[in-house]
């Protein structure tokens, strides 16, 4: 169960796939993932983890409830 906290980009992609998203797909400057009409823009790879505030914004953009995120394995 991933806590709502710092997460590696690779883990974020894996968790979004578990929730039914396809991708990552190539965009203009950023890659993105899609599930139906919902699109989530992924942050570019960098040396650090994705922090809690950015993760919360990405989950809100994806329409994912905190309880659904924390129930992933």
Q: Residue 20 maps to which CATH number?
A: 3.30.920.30
Residue 37 belongs to some domain of the structure:
yes
Q: Is 13 left (phi over 0), alpha (psi -120 to 50) or beta?
A: alpha
Number of domains present in the structure of the chain: 1
Percent of the chain with pLDDT over 70: 96
Residue 1 belongs to some domain of the structure:
no
- Domain of 63? 9-70
- Residue 55: count other Cβ atoms within 10 Å of its Cβ: 20
What band does 70 get if pLDDT is binned at 50, 70 and 90? confident
Q: Work out the average pLDDT over 3-32.
A: 89
- Tell me whether strands 38-41 and 32-35 are parallel, antiparallel or unpaired: antiparallel
Residue 15 belongs to some domain of the structure:
yes
Alpha carbon distance 60, 40 (integer Å) = 10
Residue 3 belongs to some domain of the structure:
no
Dump strand ranges (E) for 21-60. Answer: 22-25, 32-35, 38-41
């Amino acid at each position: 169960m991933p806590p709502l906290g710092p997460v590696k980009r690779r883990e974020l992609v894996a968790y979004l796939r578990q929730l039914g998203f396809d991708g990552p797909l190539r965009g203009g400057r950023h890659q993105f993932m899609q599930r139906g009409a919902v699109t989530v823009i992924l942050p570019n790879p960098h040396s650090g983890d994705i922090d809690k505030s950015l993760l919360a914004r990405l989950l809100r953009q994806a329409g994912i409830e905190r309880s659904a995120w924390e129930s992933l394995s």
